[in-house]
C-alpha cells in the first residue's frame, strides 16, 4: 500500500465544511471511547453499531458519511487495541491508555462519500457536510490506478492549508541488482550516521539553524495574545499561523533529508545494520532532548525499513548495548564518557573514531544474528493489512512516485 498526498484548493465555505467534518469525526471518536469506558467486553463491531445510534441522536453527526463515522470508530478501537497489546507484552512505563481527542486534524473516508473527476484532478465529497468539489494540486498521477484500488481518502488540516491523502492498494516491491555490500550504521548527534568503513555524514541540525527565527515568531505571537480575551484577535491568529508554518518547514526539511540518506544507503548496500534505539526513552534526558529530536532518528529508521522492503534489501536492528564501549578489534570493554570521541583500546592498541568503532560492532552483531529484521514502516503495509486505517493522525505520509 502506498499513500499519495495532494494539496486541495477550494473556497472559504468549503474549508469551513472540512473543519465541521473534522469536528464531527472527533466527536464520534470521543463518544465511542466514552461508550467503551462505560461498558465492558465491547468489540470493534459494537463501536461500529454505536455510530448508527449517534447518527440517529445527533442530526449533524448524521450528515457525515456512514463509512467516515465507522472510520472514526475504528480509530478509537485502534487506540484501545494498542493499549491491550502493550499490557499483554508488559511494556515498561505507561501502557498508553486511550485519551479523548482535543484537537483532531483529519477526517477519513473509506470507499464511499467521495468521487474523483474524469481526469483525476479534482475530488467531490457527496455527504451532508457540503464540502463539494476540491481541486487536487500535486505531481502524482492517479490515472495509473483503478478506483477500486483506492481504499481510503483522508482530509488533513495543516498550518499551510488542507491536504487530501489517498491510500492505494498496490504492490511496492521492486527487483534491484545486488551489490554484495554490507554496512553497519551508528546514529549520533555529531555525525548523523557513521558507517563501518569510516564514512561520516554530518548532522544537518535544521531546528538549531532555524531556532532564532522560530523564537522571534513565537515572541510576536505572544505579544499579540490578550489574556482573558475570547476570541483572540485576528492578528494573534495570523502570528500563530506564521509560527506554525515555520515549524512545518523545519519538519519537512528533516523528513526529506532522512529520506534521501536512507534511499542512498539502501541503493548502495544489500544488508544494512543499525541500532534498535529507544528514542522515546532517550528524549527524557533534558540535556539532549532537543538535539535528539532534531536529528530525526526515528524518521530515518522508518524510511530505511520502507526502502529496504521495497527494493528487497535486508535491514537488521541490533541492540545498542555497549556498541560504543566494546573494542571492535579485540572485543573487550573500554569504558568512555560521551565527551570522549576517540576509541583507544589499552588491550590491543586499536585506535578509531568512537562512532566508526560502534558501527563495526553493529555490523558484527547483525552478522552473528543477534539482531532482528526491521519492522514494517508506516509507508508499507503487509498484504493482510491492506485497507487498514491510515496511521499517524494528521502527519505527512508523502512517498516517492512509482510513475
241-251 pLDDT, tens per residue? 999 999 999 99
pLDDT digits 0-9 by tens, 339-398: 888 888 888 877 888 888 889 888 888 888 655 565 544 333 333 233 344 544 444 444
CATH topology of domain 182-379: Nucleotidyltransferase; domain 5 (3.30.420)
Is pLDDT above 50 for 403?
no
Taking the alpha carbons at both ends of the chain, their separation in whole angstroms is 15
pLDDT digits 0-9 by tens, 180-231: 889 999 998 888 998 888 888 989 999 999 999 999 999 999 999 998 888 8
Parts of the chain belonging to CATH 3.30.420: 182-379
Looking at the DSSP assignment, which residues form a beta bridge with residue 271? 182, 314
CA distance 359 to 371: 14
DSSP SS3 for 78: helix
CA distance 186 to 361: 9
The total of other beta-carbon atoms located within 10 Å of residue 365's CB is 22
What is the value of pTM for the model shown?
Answer: 0.84
Beta strand extents in 10-149 (DSSP E only): 106-109, 114-116, 122-125, 132-137
What pLDDT, on a 0 to 100 scale, did the predictor assign at position 370? Answer: 52
Amino acid at each position: 500500500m502506498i499513500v499519495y498526498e495532494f494539496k486541495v484548493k477550494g473556497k472559504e465555505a468549503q474549508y469551513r465544511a472540512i473543519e465541521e467534518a473534522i469536528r464531527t469525526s472527533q466527536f464520534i471518536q470521543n463518544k465511542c471511547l466514552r461508550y467503551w469506558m462505560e461498558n465492558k467486553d465491547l468489540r470493534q463491531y459494537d463501536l461500529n453499531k454505536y455510530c448508527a445510534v449517534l447518527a440517529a441522536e445527533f442530526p449533524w453527526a448524521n450528515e457525515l458519511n456512514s463509512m467516515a463515522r465507522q472510520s472514526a470508530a475504528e480509530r478509537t478501537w485502534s487506540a484501545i487495541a494498542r493499549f491491550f497489546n502493550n499490557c499483554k507484552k508488559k511494556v515498561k512505563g505507561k501502557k498508553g491508555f486511550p485519551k479523548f481527542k482535543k484537537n483532531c486534524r483529519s477526517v477519513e473516508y473509506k470507499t464511499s462519500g467521495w468521487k474523483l473527476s474524469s481526469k483525476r484532478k479534482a475530488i467531490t465529497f457527496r455527504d451532508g457536510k457540503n464540502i463539494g468539489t476540491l481541486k487536487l494540486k500535486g505531481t502524482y498521477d492517479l490515472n495509473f490506478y483503478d478506483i477500486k484500488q483506492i481504499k481510503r481518502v483522508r482530509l488533513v488540516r495543516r498550518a499551510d492549508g488542507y491536504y487530501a491523502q489517498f491510500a492505494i492498494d498496490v504492490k511496492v516491491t521492486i527487483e534491484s541488482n545486488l551489490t554484495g555490500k554490507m554496512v553497519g550504521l551508528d546514529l549520533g548527534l555529531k555525525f548523523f550516521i557513521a558507517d563501518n568503513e569510516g564514512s561520516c555524514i554530518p548532522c544537518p541540525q535544521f531546528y538549531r539553524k532555524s531556532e532564532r527565527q522560530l523564537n522571534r515568531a513565537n515572541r510576536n505571537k505572544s505579544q499579540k495574545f490578550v489574556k482573558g480575551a475570547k476570541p483572540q484577535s485576528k492578528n494573534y491568529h495570523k502570528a500563530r499561523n506564521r509560527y506554525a508554518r515555520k515549524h512545518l518547514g523545519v519538519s519537512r526539511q528533516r523528513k526529506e533529508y532522512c529520506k534521501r540518506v536512507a534511499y542512498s544507503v539502501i541503493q548502495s548496500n544489500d544488508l544494512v545494520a543499525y541500532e534498535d534505539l529507544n528514542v522515546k526513552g532517550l528524549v527524557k534526558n533534558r540535556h539532549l532532548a532537543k538535539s535528539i529530536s532534531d536529528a530525526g532518528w526515528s524518521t530515518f529508521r522508518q524510511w530505511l525499513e520502507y526502502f529496504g522492503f521495497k527494493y528487497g534489501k535486508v535491514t537488521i536492528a541490533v541492540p545498542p548495548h555497549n556498541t560504543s564501549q566494546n573494542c571492535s578489534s579485540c572485543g573487550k570493554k573500554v569504558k568512555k564518557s560521551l565527551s570522549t570521541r576517540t576509541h583507544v583500546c589499552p588491550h590491543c592498541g586499536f585506535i578509531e573514531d568512537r562512532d566508526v568503532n560502534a558501527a563495526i560492532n553493529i555490523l558484527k552483531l547483525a552478522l552473528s544474528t543477534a539482531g532482528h529484521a526491521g519492522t514494517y514502516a508506516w509507508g508499507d503495509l503487509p498484504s493482510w493489512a491492506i485497507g487498514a486505517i491510515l496511521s499517524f493522525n494528521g502527519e505527512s505520509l508523502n512517498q516517492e512516485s512509482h510513475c
